[in-house]
Amino acid sequence: MQDVQLGARLKHPHLAQVLEVGVHEGWPFVILERGDLLTLGERLAEGAPLTAQEAAGIVVDVLDGLAYAHEAGLVHQDIGLHSVLLDRSGRARLAALGVGLRAGAAGQPRRPLLDLYGLRLACERDVLMVGLLLHRLLANQPALDEPDLGNAVVRVGNEIVRLPWSTPQAVPDPLRAIANRATDRQQRQRYLSARTLLSALQRWIKTHAEDSGGPLVLLLDRLNTVGTLPGRPGTERALVSTLSVETLRVDDLVEVVLKNPAMAWEMLRSVNTASFQSPGGGEGVTTLSRAVVMLGQQGIRRVASSIRAWPGALAAQASLNPDEGSMAVSVLASELRRHCIAGHVARLMAPFSIQDEEAALAAMAQSLGSVLIAYHFPDEAAQIIRLMQELPANEPEGRPTPGMQPEGAVSAVLGVEMDELTVAVLRHWGLDERLLAAARPLSRSNPVRRPATREETLRTVASLANEMAATVLLEVEKQPSAVHQVYMRYTRALDLTPKECIQTLDLATRLVDGRRRPEPVNPV
């Protein structure tokens, strides 16, 4: 009764109002304001299955109220179709807060533990129940064929819960990733607080709402206030030296700019705006050489002066929270390095049918989303990295559980596909459709076919470059094997040799890192 009485004091738009709490003939009771509200179970029984947007909206309301209760130190423990009330507009309220009691040793109810550890576990259980509720709404059937979410929670760790592909309504992939993460078999992979699951669903709703601007809405305000990216550390001196000469050499400047993504993307954005376009339209600018010519020395200096010094907006976070801030800065530095290596690999391996600068920018475009997330959403980037990490085996002789693929991890955390986010930003900058098409990497689950057109070649080379660049993040002993796997995947499509792949990656890494002498490389 104590939890129910405490819950009755909470006032929130998505918590049902409690009118009275008492005991009658030894039985405790709670009277809630009902009016014309329907339980979620009644709504499902009388109408068609909910759309994905409706299901997500209901769960967002539930999570909003639940998060408020958790932050007040209260848990629910009995979330289900019976404890969610809907008004005529479809907005949801979570009812009966605190009535779910844990069974005692003799089967008698008792109050949940109030210590921090017990409260955290109870909150995680609530969030898992909400995940099962989301599964129920999207699939139109209970997970594990268990209508009681409390019973289903007990089985989640031992059995796999995945949203079926044969759902009554189409479920977009990002929302599917969110639902599957919410009920993941591994506790470490799930959403551990109501706020994190709430944020993921809110982002998905925001990016998929009509006329909302799509995935770009996640980044637009940040791009306008703090800029695209900060200058990459260690590149300022070379840029200043190149711009200080009286006669600007285009090739020299391009070499420097390719190591500083903030400069490269800001130059392309500048020359692809309406003020630079001819009245007749035509193709956009897809090479840095042309951007240099169009901007001129003064224009390039203006672009350079607009870019924040390293680490840009992350400096504030580093000062407020040194540990998390330094980790965010380290992640961004690593992503920018990989971003540049991919561009250099593509430039070095570009066939004669495509321009080497265009290949470099296409490769950098494919990894632009990762870099933007690392800079503008550092907390979410940390979640994504954690989801991608390999989980240790549960048994001494068991195999470790592979982490999520980058695409799935991004969808589960941000509620948006990485490709869609990247393309939305590039389109907002006015970049050419050819570069937008090349910005979508090839699927790693399908074999690579020999490209038949110039556009397909550009996209294939860019994908190769990013897969090779990703190997530099691995442990040193794993890199040769990983490079060989990439070679085997692309050898028929692009007529590669193992030696070419190894030497190109080594040269690209040395160019980006500024190392002059080549290091010995053992052939695969």
pLDDT at 4: 65
* Averaged pLDDT for residues 362-383: 95
- State how far the Cα of 117 lies from the Cα of 422, in Å rounded to an integer: 40
Sign of CA dihedral 208, 212, 216, 222: negative
pLDDT at 103: 39
Q: Tell me where in the chain the CATH 1.10.510.10 domain(s) lie.
A: 2-101+111-212
**What Å distances lie between residue 228 and 108, 141, 353, 411, 425, CA to CA?**
58, 44, 31, 21, 10
Q: For residue 22, what are the β-bridge partners?
A: 29
State the chain's mean pLDDT as an integer.
88
pLDDT exceeds 70 at position 107: no
CATH class in words for 2-101+111-212: mainly alpha
* Averaged pLDDT for residues 113-135: 90
pLDDT at 341: 98
- State how far the Cα of 241 lies from the Cα of 239, in Å rounded to an integer: 5
pLDDT at 463: 98
pLDDT at 108: 44
Question: Residue 99: which pLDDT band, with cuts at 50, 70 and 90?
Answer: low
* Averaged pLDDT for residues 10-29: 81
pLDDT at 106: 38
Cβ atoms of 288 and 261 within 8 Å: the answer is no
pLDDT at 36: 86
Please give the CATH superfamily to which domain 236-388+404-513 belongs. Answer: Hypothetical protein af1432 (1.10.3210.10)
- State how far the Cα of 379 lies from the Cα of 79, in Å rounded to an integer: 28
Q: Identity (one letter) of the amino acid at 426?
A: L
Long-range contacts of 132-136 (CB under 8 A, 24+ apart): 132/156, 132/161, 132/182, 132/183, 133/59, 133/62, 133/79, 133/80, 133/81, 133/84, 134/55, 134/56, 134/59, 134/178, 134/179, 134/182, 135/161, 135/163, 135/179, 135/182, 135/183, 136/81
pLDDT at 524: 33
pLDDT exceeds 90 at position 275: no
pLDDT exceeds 60 at position 282: no
By mean pLDDT, which of 5-9, 399-403, 456-460 is the weakest? Answer: 5-9
Rounded to 10 degrees, the C-alpha dihedral 288/291/297/300 comes to: -80
Cβ atoms of 283 and 351 within 8 Å: the answer is no
Q: Where are the alpha helices (DSSP H) in 140-246?
A: 149-156, 173-182, 194-208, 220-226, 236-244
Q: Tell me where in the chain the CATH 1.10.3210.10 domain(s) lie.
A: 236-388+404-513
* Averaged pLDDT for residues 476-485: 94
CB burial of 222-239 (b: ≥16 within 10 Å; e: otherwise) equals ebeebbbbbbbeebeebb
- State how far the Cα of 416 lies from the Cα of 208, in Å rounded to an integer: 9
pLDDT at 302: 93
Percent of the chain with pLDDT over 90: 64
- State how far the Cα of 267 lies from the Cα of 290, in Å rounded to an integer: 10
| DSSP H or E run through 85 | strand 84-86
pLDDT at 402: 83
- For residue 86, report the phi and psi dihedrals to the nearest 5 degrees: -120, 140
Cβ atoms of 74 and 3 within 8 Å: the answer is yes
Q: Identity (one letter) of the amino acid at 53?
A: Q
* Averaged pLDDT for residues 237-259: 89
